[in-house]
Structure formats: structure tokens, C-alpha cells
Amino acid sequence: MDIFCQAETVLKDVIIHRTDNFFVVHDGFPLVEGHLFLIPKFHQDCFLNMHKKYLREYEALIKMIVAFLRDQYQDPVLFEHGIIAQTIPHAHLHFLPTSKSILNVIKQVAIPMRKPKTPYLLYGKQGKITYYNVVNQIEPGFLHKTFAETLRRPIIAKERAIDAKKWMKNVKDKWDK
Ligand SMILES: [Zn+2]
């Protein structure tokens, strides 16, 4: 059982919002304030494989998160490791409010797919999401680490956790308003 399957207990302090089947969570090793991710409450390997009965709820949440971040922070980049190089083997879609892009790095290891299939990297802003086929070796948490470098944040996750509590509280206050 992975940590996201136990979110209700293990991540209870960082859950920003919950619906019937999903949690919106503030990243515990955040890259910026407002770095959120979305997870299903049930175990699921990646979002592309998720049953379509959840899509309406899932897509409504994505819209809600993007609207919140646009309003309070910046238009977020969305990214997901679709089974490949996951740090936790449970679907999680990141929302990173930033104007920075890591597309040039992604293009060194992956090529866009016309028809999405697993394994994949998902990357882009809402309305401009692309699925990539990974053709070179990448390390676990590749997208997260690449953004850490780009944003000049500590590569070691534990060092990023120092900011998590304060940022999480700020976000929760704004979300609950
Ligand atoms: Zn799980």
C-alpha cells in the first residue's frame, strides 16, 4: 500500500480539498508556494488508465485548481509521470504555478505522441497538454527534479520541505476564502 492510498491519514495535514473520489494536496516538498497535486482516493497507477466514470469529477477538479492558481498565483504547468519513472506508484497530477518551462529538457528525452498511451509523460498548461513518449533513460521524479533545477530550488526533497508548512497554510487560507 503506497502513501497516496493512505492519504486520508498520512497526508491529512496537507489536504486542501476533497471530493467523493479525489484529494487536492499541497506538495510536501514544494517547488513554489501553491504547488498542488491531485490524487484519486482509490489506488490507480496513472490518470490515463483511470475508468471513464471518474472523468467528469476529475476534469471539474482540474478546472477548479487551475482557476484558483491563476487567480491567486500564476497559470500552472500540469505534469504527470504516467507509470514511467514515478516516485510513488499511484496517479498524481502536479499543478505548478510558474511562468518557467522545462520543455527544452523534456524534448531531449521524449517525443510528443499523437495518440496518448502508457507509459507517458504529461506536460503543459491547460488547453495545451501534451503526452510524450520517453525515448531516453530518465530517473525517478524526472519532471519534479528538472523543475527544481530550473527554479533553483534544492534538489534534495527534504530541504524543500522546510517551506512546506507555511506555504500550505497560506494556500489553505486562500482556498477556503
Ligand atoms: Zn495507491
Please check the confidence at residue 120 and state whether its pLDDT lies above 90: yes
User: Does residue 173 fall inside a structural domain?
Assistant: no
Q: What percent of the chain has pLDDT over 70?
A: 100
| For range 141-146, the mean pLDDT | 94
Predicted confidence at residue 148, as pLDDT, reads: 95
Q: Does residue 174 fall inside a structural domain?
A: no
- Ion ligand 1 residue ranges (Cβ < 5 Å): 2, 4-5, 43, 90
Least confident of 51-60, 121-130, 153-162: 153-162
The dihedrals phi and psi of 42, each to the nearest 5 degrees, come to -85, 160
Whether 2 maps to a domain, the answer reads no
Is 122 inside any structural domain?
A: yes
Question: What's the confidence (pLDDT) of residue 55?
Answer: 98
pLDDT at position 89: 95
Asked if residue 175 belongs to a domain, the reply is no
Please state, as a whole number, how many other Cβ atoms lie within 10 Å of the Cβ of residue 162. 11
Q: How far does the centroid of ligand 1 lie from the alpha carbon of residue 129, in Å? A: 24
Instruction: Report whether pLDDT(82) > 90.
Output: yes
User: Which residues, other chains included, contact 52 with Cβ-Cβ below 8 Å and sequence gap of 6+?
Assistant: none
* 88 C-alpha to ligand 1 centroid (Å): 8
Assign 131 a pLDDT band (cuts: 50, 70, 90): very high
> 90 lies in a domain?
yes
Mean pLDDT, residues 43-60: 98
Residue identified by cell 491563476 is: 70
What's the pLDDT at 157?
86
Closest to 57 in 3D by CA, of 35, 24, 15: 24
Q: Which domain holds residue 50?
A: 7-167
Over the chain, what is the mean pLDDT?
96
CA distance 40 to 58: 9
Q: Could you write out the DSSP letters of every residue in 92-115? A: -EEEEE-S---HHHHHHHEEE-SS
pLDDT digits (tens, 9 = 90+) for 147-167: 999 999 998 889 999 989 999
Residue 29 pLDDT: 92
Question: Is 16 a member of any domain?
Answer: yes
Ligand 1 centre distance from Cα of residue 74 (Å): 29
Mean local confidence (pLDDT), 101-121: 97
**Confidence bin at 117 (pLDDT 50/70/90):** very high
Q: Compute the half-sphere exposure of residue 57: CA atoms within 13 Å on the CB side of its CA.
A: 17
The number of folded domains in the chain is: 1
**What CATH number corresponds to the domain at position 40?**
3.30.428.10
Query: Is the residue at 63 inside a domain?
Result: yes
* Whether pTM exceeds 0.85: yes
C-alpha 58 to ligand 1 mean position (Å): 17
